[in-house]
Amino acid sequence: MRRTGSILVVDDDPAICVVVGEALRRQGHKVEAVSSIRQRSEMLESFAPDVLITDVMLPDGDGLEDVAGILGRWPELHVIILSAQNTLNTAIRATEKGAFEYLPKPFDLNELTRAVSDALTMKEGADAEEVGLPHDGLPLVGRSPAMQEVYRTIARVLSNDLSILVLGESGTGKELVAEAIHSLGQRRTKPFVAINMAAIPRELIEAELFGYEKGAFTGAHARTAGKFEQAQGGTLFLDEIGDMPMEAQTRLLRVLQSGEVTTVGGSKPVRVNVRIVAATNKDLPQLIEENRFRQDLYYRLNVVPISLPPLRERREDVMILARHFLDQAAQEGLPRKSLSDEAAQLLMLYHWPGNVRELQNLMQRLAVLSRETVIAADILRNALPLAAVPADFTAPSEQLAQAVGEWAKRQLGIGISEPNRNLHNDLLAVVEPVLFQETLARVDGNQLRAAGLLGINRNTLRKKLTDYGLDPSQLRLND
């Protein structure tokens, strides 16, 4: 049984307060959110929370400073620290002040809700025999900067009805984003209806979307409501919108403009109130150029775009997702499996053309078929398309390790007596600029994507580039 409690969230970013607050409320907790240390002190008195989730950099000071004092006053309280200063120093300070948990930003919502559940479980004094608490209610997993951007946008659209266009390759989670917007938003008690334009014969799309009257065409035996009417009050997910035939696009635009649907073969319009979330893996501006997509419809749908990058561009999410899917398989009653370190490395190197869906399928297959509890690299090598992963994938790392070893020996040989040598920094100063330059060149100087590939915070990357005197605009790909 999950325990619920009262939670105070302190962050000066309203998007974080909304997302965290909403996620915790969905799990049955009572939540209040404020944005400063002063308000935090007031709420600790008046709201008396069980758990305090607080940011460090707050407009009126350092949110960690007072934590030891707070715990002295309310010893039962559990404090969870969130911080964008992902330094070891902040983590250590948080621990020293007696915080129950420290989560670097960007954080994974599931991890946060789990930390809250753990804190409340401890508070009840119950023994934690239930280790793997279910991730219920929070379908999206991942903590890459790109996913954090997605979470922020989702948070901003929960309280309005703006049309959303979700962009991304097949299997990146577009439908999951649409479902999250619906199930966390104000329409959650109403239907979520999905229709995939690519999966329905072109001549049936209009009948499916708008419904039809009895006798409108051969086989139309009775009046049938379309997806628009079925989604009344809720959300309509228009998947693969780029595959919609032009005539259906014209009709869709008319419905969106008028808020009324007329069935195929019918004459009486029905008022509909639905939120539209559309998705595509196609380049819509290109389709507009080719006269295969209506520009006016594009503007109507693309009010808030949400981009899901391919998994190969957010490799830091691969292991989190892999574990999530193995956990899911275990919860479904399959044997619990984990991955060896080498297997994990292999997963990180693979380019995932089928994105998250491919990773999910692979983990499910392994959970069913693999006999070992710890999945080894060899098993993965057999399961993944062989050509995609070089058999000697560890060789470059070994060479690098060797080079570092020789470099260190040389440095120690010449400088061991110097008291102020900082060998660690010296090595980073050799290695990091090369790594950053290669990565930035690969992504055409895009720092957000480079940070994603490197698995570091964008601000950290920016600061390091300045420190090394590197100019990302000079690092365009020219091969």
Ligand X SMILES: Nc1ncnc2c1ncn2[C@@H]1O[C@H](COP(=O)(O)OP(=O)(O)OP(=O)(O)O)[C@@H](O)[C@H]1O
**Interface residues toward ligand X, by CB under 6 A:** 139-142, 168, 170-176, 239, 281, 321, 324, 356-357, 360
Task: Give the C-alpha separation, 45 to 30, whole Å.
Answer: 16
CB of 354 to ligand X, least distance (A): 9
Task: Give the C-alpha separation, 238 to 194, whole Å.
Answer: 6
Of residues 165 and 356, the one with the C-beta less far from ligand X = 356
Of residues 208 and 229, the one with the C-beta less far from ligand X = 208
Of residues 170 and 183, the one with the C-beta less far from ligand X = 170
CB of 30 to ligand X, least distance (A): 27
Half-sphere exposure at residue 261, Cβ-oriented, CA atoms within 13 angstroms: 24
Of residues 77 and 155, the one with the C-beta less far from ligand X = 155
What amino acid is encoded at 430 in this protein? Answer: V
Of residues 144 and 263, the one with the C-beta less far from ligand X = 144
Q: Which residue has the tokens 């080719």?
A: 290
- Cβ(54)–Cβ(27) under 8 Å? no
Of residues 142 and 145, the one with the C-beta less far from ligand X = 142
Of residues 43 and 177, the one with the C-beta less far from ligand X = 177
The residue at minimum Cβ distance from ligand X is 173
Q: Which residue has the tokens 């997963």?
A: 347
Measured CA angle at 204 (ends 202, 205), to 5 deg: 70
266 is written with which tokens? 């019918």
CB of 105 to ligand X, least distance (A): 18
Task: Give the C-alpha separation, 41 to 29, whole Å.
Answer: 20
Task: Give the C-alpha separation, 317 to 167, whole Å.
Answer: 18
CB of 100 to ligand X, least distance (A): 26
CB of 170 to ligand X, least distance (A): 4
CB of 324 to ligand X, least distance (A): 6
Phi/psi at 22 (5° precision): -65, -45
- Cβ(91)–Cβ(102) under 8 Å? yes
Of residues 195 and 465, the one with the C-beta less far from ligand X = 195
CB of 135 to ligand X, least distance (A): 9
CB of 308 to ligand X, least distance (A): 7
Of residues 140 and 454, the one with the C-beta less far from ligand X = 140
Q: Is the peptide bond before 106 cis (omega within 30 degrees of 0)?
A: yes
Task: Give the C-alpha separation, 133 to 424, whole Å.
Answer: 39
- Cβ(133)–Cβ(114) under 8 Å? yes
What amino acid is encoded at 334 in this protein? Answer: L
Task: Give the C-alpha separation, 294 to 69, whole Å.
Answer: 61
CB of 310 to ligand X, least distance (A): 10
Half-sphere exposure at residue 158, Cβ-oriented, CA atoms within 13 angstroms: 24
CB of 432 to ligand X, least distance (A): 29
H or E element in which residue 151 lies: helix 145-157
Task: Give the C-alpha separation, 311 to 349, whole Å.
Answer: 11
314 is written with which tokens? 């957010």
Of residues 71 and 147, the one with the C-beta less far from ligand X = 147
